[in-house]
Chain A
């Protein structure tokens, strides 16, 4: 391989950052262990990928098989929950193709944990407590719904306002590439590019009640089917966690998988077969539970004060 940088054998993280990383890991394991949550090891290579149209998985080729690198341990963990293992977590690397930037690495470390019989709101508070333990006092928890966030920042209701009203609020310089009639795209634009960078500067911001269209694997609220019991946590402008009160209905899950496949077709992305073993686990019965996925590297970033994710791992993708 041609090397243009003579120093490219060196790690990108400072030794102190690597020590901080190890220390934070130990504190996370202690926090979860105090609560009786079991650490489990789940596969990193799998015969199934995910249908989520916004996630693309790395495919691998062995001598006799094809496989995927997992983008999240979610399906394996929920299969263990359906098998009766109880509160559990996985703490290890996950892989996402086409995600690479200052705050994204194609390989990153994800902490994902599940709590039986807990709703999303309670879980979000528990995660806020964990974050405070890891990065120090970040301020009080600020709960704001997806709709309230749009009301507060733009003065419009994201669900009922005409799409044109959303479009009108986009800074003209940033309109190229956005579609003026795509409500979902404009939601994502405002959330990721405009709102999140402003959130969590003296609070731990918990955004909840995401639109049903973005429910992912969360159940819909029984009292308002337009929103899902999904939350995200933002600290100092960084999205750190995404959690659900988990969808347990196999029929609804099967339908969502098919909807995601249609969306993939529309977007011209490769078709992915839904994970049949996961659906079978739901058929067998997933207990009522909430789960959350937390980006560990971003926690290290906040705790160490560096600017990019590449500085908190020994060898980021560019040097792996």
Chain B
């Protein structure tokens, strides 16, 4: 078990507090000129995503969280879990709904995702920045209107809903930004 001193605190560091893994979002050093120094941190609970504030006495030591990010290939979903495979070790991991969060609505298979492992178990799954998916339902656009800023709702093969330009038709492939849920471009086969 390893530890971090508050002197090593910086954003991105993963620590354990009250049994839960946290990511340091912001670390601020507070010290009266003639007094004890403190580290005031904003930390995100990696299980619940809730952000809280904490104050540590500078020099205090906290337990390091064994949290690592790995690129893994999404294989399939079995009803309750999503299965991923590490491309080098071929080891398989199963992640639950909490770990998937919004990622679930962008995955159909074979995408490379960032899986955050805590003690070897998937804690968070981040989908690729952009995915290419087929439009399964959308209203026909207005003929000839290819340049206006107008858009319309569309449902994709994974069930995700996005707004697309009027010229996009059912059955077409489109590229979507998974961070903003926005249409990027027409996709290729």
- Give chain A's interface residues, CB within 8 Å of chain B: 52, 54, 98-104, 173-174, 176-178, 184-185, 187-189, 191-193, 196, 214, 216, 232, 239, 242, 293, 295
- Sample of 9 A–B contacts (CB below 8 Å): A52-B34, A54-B34, A99-B29, A174-B54, A185-B36, A191-B32, A192-B35, A193-B38, A216-B34
Is the Cβ of A101 less than 8 Å from the Cβ of B36? no
Distance of A216 Cα from B35 Cα, bound (Å): 10
Q: A176-B55, A189-B38, A193-B40 are in contact. Are A99 and B31 (CB under 8 A)?
A: yes
B57 interface residue (CB < 8 Å to A):
yes
Count of chain B residues with Cβ under 8 Å from any Cβ of A? 23
Residues of A with C-beta under 8 A to B53: 173-174
Interface SS, A side: mixed
| A-B CB proximity, top 4 nearest | A101-B29, A188-B35, A177-B56, A174-B55
User: Interface code B48-68, partner A: CB below 8 Å = 1, 0 otherwise?
Assistant: 000011111110100000000
**Listed residue (B29, B38, B55) with the most chain A CB atoms within 10 angstroms of its CB:** B55
Given contacts A185-B57, A214-B34, 19 further A-B contacts (CB under 8 A): A52-B34, A54-B35, A54-B36, A98-B37, A104-B29, A104-B31, A173-B52, A176-B17, A176-B55, A177-B54, A189-B36, A189-B55, A192-B31, A192-B32, A196-B32, A239-B33, A242-B34, A293-B33, A295-B33
Q: How many angstroms between the C-alpha atoms of A293 and B34 in the bound complex?
A: 11
A54 touches B17 (CB 8 A): no
Whether A54 pairs with B57 at a CB distance below 8 angstroms is: no
Cα distance, A242 to B32, chains bound together (Å)? 10
| Closest A residue to B53 using CB positions | A173
Q: How far is the CA of A102 from the CA of B26 in the complex (A)?
A: 11
Is B170 among interface residues, defined by CB-CB distance under 8 A?
Answer: no
Q: Are the C-beta atoms of A176 and B56 separated by less than 8 Å?
A: yes
Interface centre among B31, B38, B58, B60 (most CB of A within 10 A): B31
Given contacts A100-B29, A189-B55, whether A177 and B60 have CB atoms under 8 Å apart is yes
B residues near A, CB below 8 A? 7, 17, 27-38, 40, 52-58, 60
**CA of A185 to CA of B31 in the docked complex: distance in angstroms?**
12
Chain B residues with CB under 8 Å of A239's CB are: 32-33
- Cβ contact within 8 Å between A177 and B35: no
- Residue among B28, B30, B34 with most chain A CB within 10 A: B34
Of A103, A173, A188, A242, the residue contacting B36 (CB under 8 A) is A188
Complex contacts, B57 vs chain A, CB 8 Å? 177-178, 185
In the complex, the chain B residue whose C-beta lies closest to that of A186 is B36
Return B50 CB to nearest CB of chain A, in Å: 12
Whether B30 and A101, one on each chain, are in contact in the complex, defined by CB atoms closer than 8 angstroms, is yes
Q: A178 touching B55 by the CB < 8 A rule?
A: yes
A318–chain B nearest beta-carbon distance, Å: 12
The CA-CA distance from A103 to B55 in the complex, in Å, is 17
Q: A54-B37, A99-B37, A189-B38 are in contact. Are A177 and B55 (CB under 8 A)?
A: yes
Contacts of A99 in B (CB 8 A): 29, 31, 37
Which chain A residues border B17 with CB–CB below 8 Å? Answer: 176
Whether the pair B38, A98 counts as a contact (CB closer than 8 A) is no
Q: Which residues of A contact B52 (CB under 8 A)?
A: 173
Chain B nearest Cβ from A145, distance in angstroms: 16
- Min CB distance A54 to B, Å, is 6
Contact assessment for B55 and A193 in the assembled complex, using a CB-CB cutoff below 8 Å: yes
CB distance from B56 to the nearest CB of A (A): 4
